[in-house]
Amino acid sequence: MGGKVTSLLLAGVGGQGILLASDIICKVMMEKGLDVKKSEVHGMAQRGGCVTSHVRYGQKVYSPLARKGDVDMIVSFEKLEALRYLDYLKKGGMILVNDEEIYPPSVNLGEADYPKDIYESLRSQFGKDSVKVIPGPKLASLAGNRRAVNTVMLGAISRFTPGLVREDWKKVLTEVLPEKILEANIKAFDLGREA
């Protein structure tokens, strides 16, 4: 991790638990002694619309917003949303995509088509090894809580955060999540981490 700043961009749709996921990443990084900033937008923009959260960590972080072309990893909680922010990705950056489609209004109304072959197009543009598809809903159900997709994605992210071990994440999850749903979420995290 050293002197440079790492930038993550979490994207998806309101209600997917993106803000909680980015809160957890921040806490994990802070407890590792790193400086961390994150940024997102609340209010009208959030009602069923796109949600993004920028998370940046390193020895010293100034901007809570990443610049275009400087994001180390785009984590898309919804398939289509991965395409919206590709100009933020750094050369050689990673894309994690949750395998879940949520239709925007124009698609629901039959006025637009949900893009096909999203994974193929991402792989051909950025390289096969740079795109990782996570079957979030499937793994969350397997863990016993269909809503734990965000924790599955945290598990997937944790594979790409050198210097951190499973216990660092588990500790924060235990602090942050209500006891009632903790066990299923730890399981979801592990399934995401192994995915």
Binding residues (CB under 8 A) for another protein: these are 13-14, 23, 26-27, 30, 35-50, 61-70, 80-81, 83-84, 86-87, 89, 91, 103-110, 112-115, 121
SS3 (DSSP) at 172:
helix
Residue 194 C-beta: closest distance to another protein, Å: 26
Smallest separation, CB 145 to another protein (Å): 14
Q: How far apart are CA 174 and CA 19, in angstroms?
A: 17
- Going along 14-157, which residue ranges are E strands? 35-40, 50-58, 71-76, 89-98, 131-134
Token digits of residue 83: 């395409």
Enter the DSSP assignment of 113: P
Closer CB to another protein, residue 150 or residue 190? 150
Q: Between 184 and 190, whose beta carbon lies closer to another protein?
A: 184
Minimum distance from residue 45 beta carbon to another protein (Å):
5
* Cα–Cα distance measured from residue 63 to residue 8, given in angstroms and rounded to the nearest whole number: 13
Between 106 and 174, whose beta carbon lies closer to another protein? 106
Judged by beta carbon, residue 45 or residue 174, the one nearer another protein is 45
Closest CB to another protein among residues 52, 158: 52
Measured from the CB of residue 10, what is the shortest distance to another protein in angstroms? 13
What is the number of alpha carbons within 13 Å of residue 2 lying toward its C-beta? 2
The dihedral built from the CA positions of residue 68, 38, 192 and 80, taken in this order, carries a sign that is negative
Contact 35, 4 (CB under 8 A): no
Cβ 110 to another protein shortest distance, Å = 3
Alpha-carbon distance of 28 to 72, in angstroms, equals 18
